[in-house]
Amino acid sequence: MALDMELESVLRAPALEMPPYPAKVITLANSKKMVVRQAKRTEVPTLLGAVRPTLAIDKDFYDIVGARLYAELLGWNRHRVRNEYCLVGQIDGYVVGIVNGRMVDKAIGMSYHTMAIDRGLKIGTHLFAAKMEYHIEHLGQEEVWITAESPIGFRRWMIEYDLIQQEGVQHELGGATSYKLTRDLYFASKSRLFAGQRPVPQDLLDYALQNLFIADGKAIKEKICGTLGGQQ
Amino acid sequence: MRDVAIIGVGIIPFGRRDEDSLLDMLAYASLKALDDAGIGDQGVDAVYVANMGAGILQHQTSVASALVDRLSLMPAAADAVENGPASGASAIKNGLLAVASGYYDTVLVAGGEKMREVVGWKATDFVATMTHPEVEYPYGITLPGMAGMFTRLYMEKYGLTQEQLMAVAIKNQKMGTLNPYAHVDMIITREGIQESPDAVVNNPVAADPLHFYDMCPVSDGAAAVILCPAEKAKEISQNTPVIIAGFGQATDTHTLQEREDPTNLKAVTLAAKQAFKMANLTPNDVDVAELHDAFTVLEIAESEHVGFFKKGEGGKAAEKGETTLTGKIPINVSGGLKARGHPVGATGVAQVVEIVFQLRHALDKNRQVKNAKVGFTLNFGGFGNNVVAFVLRRSE
């Protein structure tokens, strides 16, 4: 699509400088190696393919999370969201989870969404932790604002991290109560909740960077919903 | 007393079954069992339903008569059996006695539980209602907490190790991936849950010294069996009959603190002894066993208390692979509660269903114990205060 770059420069949000997220590798409970790395804007169309099947899954609010994440990734790709980033988890090149957020300003981070495509291996937990790590340790922020759209999210974030409820503070995702992770809370939780090793072996990292695969829609739905539940 | 045979079994996949009510699940499993027995259009004389928590979790009572109505089995007699996590085997025992006495000829026993309707901590609290209401529950004890303390004592007394517990977890989760009815369909590895630097996050301490992967999941599910007099089994059904050769049931103190030695699961030993005596068999005769591994430590402790191994040897045997599919005594090749899941009211029935599959030689090679003729089940209620055991035998 041809753009009028003069007008585009008005519509595009100026971005804060964001140091990159250094990739890490996490050994999962089944010994699979999940590479967690920062996604590139050019990878958004592929990532949207992983999110699209979730729009039809109401289980655990995947439809809402999927719809919003889809819009956020589009917004990032088209430069309509300021200071956004996206991290992906990959196993053997396949996308198994996506998280995103943005810098509100130098001190405050805004956590957007956490989507695990492969379930049962704490992938969402690991990726959410990576997101918090990015805000606090690499972007050097003081706090991250978080809300939850599903009971699983509430349990994994608000309870596991003992987040601080922020009465009267509006999270950008609206709706539910806003909570925050402070630097103190982050470091108090770090040994318990944060996994991953650096540097990522070069061959593993190269493979992840060069191969961003997504499972087909049916497989994604099965991974999320399970193949057994509901069968008679 | 007449010998009693199992001529039909039914089970539905355990897990999160958001779309199904408790009654739906009980009905699915029961219909499968009736069809399996080949008496789907004939009805039964009586129905026993094992369930622990519908009154609390679903605000529903009288589930047995509700199931009879749902299946149009009127005017079959209907009884609900609530005996904590041993409800399933208790219900089978009641059905067994009813048939053995000569009063009923065909009995349906179904067990089911819908636990995923509430969040995890509410499910844990619900299960904790079986603890003593004055000296345990008010102080916040949970079943994982009890299991943690029991494990620590067992480690101190018998030298049980984390590696031995892990061997049970890895074995059962591997077998769960082969069982189409299992809740957990995921292999775990020693590297992933213990050795790698990330294992501490993957497998955190849940109730010291037990870790996350030492625990069974919270599940929805149902299972059912059809009982009849052994002498009529072949005329009623085409299936290879499985005879309930022996049963035993015993009760221990409600609180662990009142036991002279909390590591001694007396009710397990007594229930097993009764079952073997009635069957005129010994633990050495058993080809395949389903033990109540709500926590990995229980599989090991029970394997010793029922007589498969000497005290202190069960952990070593698990670590050496003696309880695997091809080992000396295959235990929980269904995945056990650890992987199949533990919908409390369904578990005791599901254990028997699994053994019937084994004794019929009806499973795929990767899960079938070769030429299995005698099976054993142990359903463990409370923290060993109510235990039911069965010895099952293939009828040739």
8 A C-beta contact, residue B185 and residue B308: no
In a domain, residue A10? The reply is no
The count of C-alpha atoms lying within 13 angstroms of the C-alpha of A91, restricted to the half-sphere facing its C-beta, is 19
In a domain, residue B152? The reply is no
Which residue reads 């008005």 in tokens? A10
The pLDDT assigned to A232 comes to: 42
For residue B15, list its beta bridge partners.
Answer: B220
Q: What is the pLDDT of residues A153-205, one digit of tens each?
A: 888 888 889 999 998 899 999 878 899 999 999 999 999 999 999 999 999 99
For chain B, the C-alpha Rg in angstroms (whole number) is 19
In a domain, residue A11? The reply is no
Question: If we measure between CA atoms, which residue out of B304, B292, B298 comes closest to residue B351?
Answer: B292
Task: Give the nearest chain B residue to A123 (CA atoms).
Answer: B202
For residue B288, list its beta bridge partners.
Answer: B375
Q: How close, in Å, is residue A151 to chain B by CA atoms? A: 8
In a domain, residue A230? The reply is no
CA distance A107 to A103: 8
Cross-chain Cβ contact A29/B193 below 8 Å: yes
To the nearest 10 degrees (0 to 180), the angle between helices B143-158 and B296-305 is 50
Say if the ipTM goes beyond 0.90: yes
Angle of CA points B3, B243, B269, to nearest 5°: 95
Angle of CA points B238, B241, B245, to nearest 5°: 170
Structural domain count of chain B: 1
In a domain, residue B74? The reply is yes
In a domain, residue A91? The reply is yes
In a domain, residue A89? The reply is yes
In a domain, residue B12? The reply is yes
Cross-chain Cβ contact A151/B15 below 8 Å: no
* Structural domain for B57, as ranges: 4-119+218-236
In a domain, residue B68? The reply is yes
Structural domain count of chain A: 1
Show pLDDT as tens, one digit a residue, over chain B (396 residues): 899 999 999 999 999 999 999 999 999 999 999 999 999 888 999 999 999 999 999 999 999 999 999 999 999 999 999 999 999 999 999 999 999 999 999 999 999 999 998 988 899 999 999 999 999 999 999 999 999 999 999 999 999 999 999 999 999 999 999 999 999 999 999 999 999 999 999 999 999 999 999 999 999 999 999 999 999 999 999 999 999 999 999 999 999 999 999 999 999 999 999 999 999 999 999 999 999 999 999 999 999 999 999 999 999 999 999 999 999 999 999 999 999 999 999 999 999 999 999 999 999 999 999 999 999 999 999 999 999 999 999 997
In a domain, residue B20? The reply is yes
Cross-chain Cβ contact A192/B185 below 8 Å: no
In a domain, residue B80? The reply is yes
Q: How close, in Å, is residue B254 to chain A by CA atoms? A: 32
Burial class (CB in 10 A: 0-12, 13-18, 19+), B43: middle
Of B19, B188, B197, the CB nearest to A197: B197
CA distance A155 to A179: 13
In a domain, residue A164? The reply is yes
A104: domain CATH number? 3.40.630.30
Cross-chain Cβ contact A30/B199 below 8 Å: no
Q: How close, in Å, is residue B323 to chain A by CA atoms? A: 21
Mapping DSSP to helix (H, G, I), strand (E, B) and coil, where does residue B299 land?
helix
Provide, rounded to the nearest whole percent, the portion of chain B with pLDDT above 70: 100
Q: What is the pLDDT of residues A82-124, one digit of tens each?
A: 999 999 999 999 999 999 999 999 999 999 999 999 988 999 9
B105: domain CATH number? 3.40.47.10
In a domain, residue B182? The reply is no
In a domain, residue B41? The reply is yes
Mapping DSSP to helix (H, G, I), strand (E, B) and coil, where does residue B365 land?
coil
Name the pLDDT band for A226 (thresholds 50, 70, 90).
confident
pTM: 0.94
Residue A2 predicted with pLDDT over 90: no
Cross-chain Cβ contact A27/B196 below 8 Å: yes
